[in-house]
């Protein structure tokens, strides 16, 4: 099975691609974010959205594409009721970028490399809603900026296709080029599926499944097509020419829409109202510098350098703001193990509880580093830090040192105080002491617990452990 994907991703831009209309129409009344430009009125001139172009270039660079110093826009002509201009502004033979690739993990450890043929810019159509008695059209999305990302036919299963799509989604979000929110229709897939006999390398006529808008339907639609085409091959009547099919989300099957259109059907010609895009190398290099290190590379680095679990490395690498937080934390804290555990098990628990972003809470990486250093130096215990102190920091934004001082939380490492408490526990629990002496090493945990309790949790458990053992060995 031979699969290629076209991904349409809405560029995270405040305005539409060629006009000043608001690009965010989520939850907004139909047909309010429109103007003569995106409605295709005669005599209106489109103006290229610089921010959208920059974000598309950043995405192209993150997908390892060559960004062209010269590219241009073309009209792709077709009539459809959701396209008021009667054509789409796209890029045909001189796209923004070409020849990229993306690498991602499929199974634990196995890396797949899929070639990206091109990433180009185009504008979106409106939205049709079919209701009883007719159809309604909402033009709010017409003219929204899109990146079209076209893969080479390198994918070999429905699972690989959806993992590839997820990798693209993660990268686009990571570099800030698209919010890639599937629920809001910001990421849509067209999947081209064909079969060929093992050992051949020519491509047979494909079926292009249009407009899939979830990973689940992407996988299901591909699997359905593979089965359908396998039957045709088995009957000796494989498809003779390419077709365009749709996906019926209710019936969970594809249906025939039309013979596959080819480029001549669209009567492409250069968009006469928009000058070509020309960039010098410096402009592209400046954007190259803002592309952050990507999730997979961070994941690999964290796993190798810090010896942390794969789950921890994934948590710390898959979102840019969390990953950057962790990176600045470890710049000021020498204890990596504690840094990992304080971010993944404590901070992230609070973020999930309150449904907020890491940047919207009060504990800065520097404060977190201070907290970790207090534990590291034995001033407070791990439990105190993760419990009472962190909670107070999170609520008030106060420094951990101040909180520890105000609440008198300083852990007791004073040997005399600890020895005294241990001796008391030894005389209070003779049975357990005997058990320990007769070889039940586990009982020490109980005895230490009693000491901690008698000192209201302020003593350093490692110190208590060694003092207690020393006394019991006598
Ligand atoms: Zn407009
Ligand atoms: Mn397209």
* Interatomic CA distance for residues 21 and 15, integer angstroms: 5
SS3 of residue 128 by DSSP? strand
pTM for the model stands at: 0.82
Which ligand has an atom closest to residue 140 CA? 1
132-141, 259-268, 325-334: the lowest-pLDDT one: 259-268
* Rounded average pLDDT over 451-473: 82
Q: Tell whether the model's pLDDT for residue 411 goes beyond 70.
A: no
Sign for the CA dihedral angle at 455, 460, 465, 468 comes to negative
Ligand closest to 119 (CA) is: 2
The ligand with the least distance to the CA atom of 211 is 2
Q: Which ligand is nearest to the CA of 35?
A: 1
User: How far are the Cα atoms of 24, 49, 146, 178 from residue 184, in angstroms, in the given order?
Assistant: 10, 22, 14, 12
Of 36-45, 104-113, 225-234, least confident by mean pLDDT is: 104-113
Model pLDDT, residue 215: 96
Q: What is the pLDDT of residue 412?
A: 64
- Please tell me the number of the ligand nearest to residue 150's CA: 2
Q: What's the CA-to-centroid distance between 13 and ligand 2, angstroms?
A: 18
Q: Which ligand ends up closest to the CA of 45?
A: 1
How close is the Cα of 45 to the center of ligand 1, in Å?
11
**CA 146 to ligand 2 center in whole angstroms:** 8
Ligand 1 centroid–CA 130 distance in Å is 24
Q: Which ligand is nearest to the CA of 124?
A: 2
pLDDT tier for residue 415 given thresholds of 50, 70 and 90: confident
What single string gives the DSSP state of each residue in 318-368? SSHHHHHHHHHHHHH-S-HHHHHHIIIIIIHHHHHHHT--GGGSS--HHHH
**pLDDT (tens digit per residue) in 68-119:** 999 999 999 999 999 999 999 999 999 999 999 999 888 766 889 999 999 9
In this structure, which ligand is nearest to the CA of 89?
2
Note residues around ion ligand 2 (Cβ under 5 angstroms): 148
Nearest ligand atom owner, CA of 126: 1
Burial (Cβ within 10 Å: 0-12, 13-18, ≥19) of residue 306: middle
The residue with greater pLDDT, 411 or 323, is 323
* pLDDT recorded at residue 327: 94
Rounded to the nearest angstrom, the distance between the alpha carbon of 28 and the centre of ligand 1 is 15
- Tell me if 61 sits within 8 A of 176, measured CB to CB: no
**Ligand sitting nearest the alpha carbon of 90:** 2
d(CA 410, CA 378): 9
Q: Check residue 465 and give its pLDDT.
A: 86
Query: If you measure from the C-alpha of residue 11 to the centroid of ligand 2, how many angstroms do you get, rounded to a whole number?
Result: 13
Beta strands in 251-345 (DSSP E): 253-259, 269-270, 277-278
The whole-angstrom separation of Cα 406 and Cα 177 is 45
Kindly give the distance from the C-alpha atom of residue 189 to the centroid of ligand 2, in angstroms, as a whole number: 10
Å from CA of 446 to ligand 2 middle: 67
Could you say which ligand is closest to the alpha carbon of residue 120?
Answer: 2
Ligand minimally distant from the alpha carbon of residue 121: 2
Distance 49 CA to ligand 2 centre (A): 18
CA of 17 to the centre of ligand 2 (A): 14
Across the range 440-461, mean pLDDT stands at: 85
3-state SS of 409-420? CCCECCHHHHHH
Q: How confident is the model at residue 339 (pLDDT cuts 50, 70, 90)?
A: very high
| 216 Cα–ligand 1 center, Å | 33
DSSP letter assigned to residue 91: -
- Which pLDDT does position 413 carry in this prediction? 62
Instruction: Give the closest ligand to the alpha carbon of residue 34.
Output: 1
Query: What is the DSSP annotation of 11-76?
Result: ---SB-SSS-SBS--TTPPTT-S--TTTTT-TT------HHHHHHHHHHHHHTTPEEPSEE--EEE
Mean pLDDT over residues 188-205, rounded?
A: 94
Q: Model confidence at 259, in pLDDT bands (50, 70, 90)?
A: confident
* Residue 21 near residue 38, CB atoms below 8 Å: yes
* Structure-token match 């831009």, residue found: 13
Q: Give the Å distance between the CA of 396 and the centre of ligand 2.
A: 49
pLDDT tens for 350-389 read 999 999 999 999 999 999 999 999 888 878 888 889 998 9
The confidence band for 404, taking pLDDT boundaries of 50, 70 and 90, is: confident
Mean pLDDT across 260-272: 89
């Amino acid at each position: 099975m031979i699969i290629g994907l076209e991904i349409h991703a809405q560029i995270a831009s405040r305005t539409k691609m060629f006009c000043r209309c608001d690009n965010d129409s989520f939850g907004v009344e139909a047909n309010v974010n429109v103007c003569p430009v995106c409605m295709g009125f005669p005599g209106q001139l489109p103006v290229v959205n610089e921010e959208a172009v920059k974000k598309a270039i950043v995405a192209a660079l993150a997908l390892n594409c060559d960004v062209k110093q010269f590219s241009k826009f073309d009209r792709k002509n077709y009539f459809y009721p959701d396209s008021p201009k009667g054509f789409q502004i796209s890029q045909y033979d001189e796209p923004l970028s070409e020849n990229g690739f993306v690498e991602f993990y499929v199974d634990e450890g196995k890396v797949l490399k899929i070639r990206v043929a091109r990433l180009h810019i185009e504008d979106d159509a409106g939205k049709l809603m079919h209701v009883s008695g007719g159809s309604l059209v909402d033009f709010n999305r017409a003219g929204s900026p899109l990146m079209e990302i076209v893969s080479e036919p390198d994918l070999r299963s429905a699972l690989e296709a959806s993992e590839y799509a997820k990798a693209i989604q993660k990268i686009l979000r990571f570099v800030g080029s698209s919010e890639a929110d599937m629920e809001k229709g910001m990421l849509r897939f067209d999947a081209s599926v064909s079969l060929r006999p093992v050992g051949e390398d020519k491509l047979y006529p494909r079926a292009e499944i249009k407009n899939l808008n979830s990973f689940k339907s992407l996988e299901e639609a591909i699997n359905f097509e593979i089965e359908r085409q396998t039957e045709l091959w088995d009957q000796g009547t494989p498809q003779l020419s390419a077709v365009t099919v749709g996906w019926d989300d209710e019936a969970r099957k594809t249906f025939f829409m039309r013979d596959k259109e080819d480029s001549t059907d669209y009567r492409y010609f250069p968009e006469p109202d928009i000058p070509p895009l020309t960039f010098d190398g410096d402009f592209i290099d400046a954007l190259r510098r803002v592309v952050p290190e990507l999730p997979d590379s961070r994941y690999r680095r964290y796993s190798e350098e810090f010896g942390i679990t794969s789950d921890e490395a994934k948590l710390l690498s898959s979102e840019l703001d969390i990953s950057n937080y962790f990176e600045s934390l470890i710049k000021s804290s020498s204890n990596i193990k504690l840094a990992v555990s304080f971010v993944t098990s404590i901070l992230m628990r609070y973020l999930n509880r309150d449904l907020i972003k890491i940047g919207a809470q009060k504990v800065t990486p520097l404060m977190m580093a201070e907290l970790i250093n207090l534990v590291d130096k034995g001033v407070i215990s791990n439990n105190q830090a993760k419990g009472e102190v962190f909670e107070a920091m999170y609520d008030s934004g106060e420094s951990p040192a101040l909180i520890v001082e105000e609440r008198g939380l300083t852990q007791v490492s004073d040997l005399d105080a600890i020895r005294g408490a241990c001796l008391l526990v030894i005389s209070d629990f003779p049975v357990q002491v005997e058990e320990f002496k007769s070889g039940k090493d586990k009982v020490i945990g109980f005895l230490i617990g009693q000491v901690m309790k008698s000192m209201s949790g302020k003593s350093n458990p490692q110190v208590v452990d060694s003092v207690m053992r020393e006394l019991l060995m006598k």
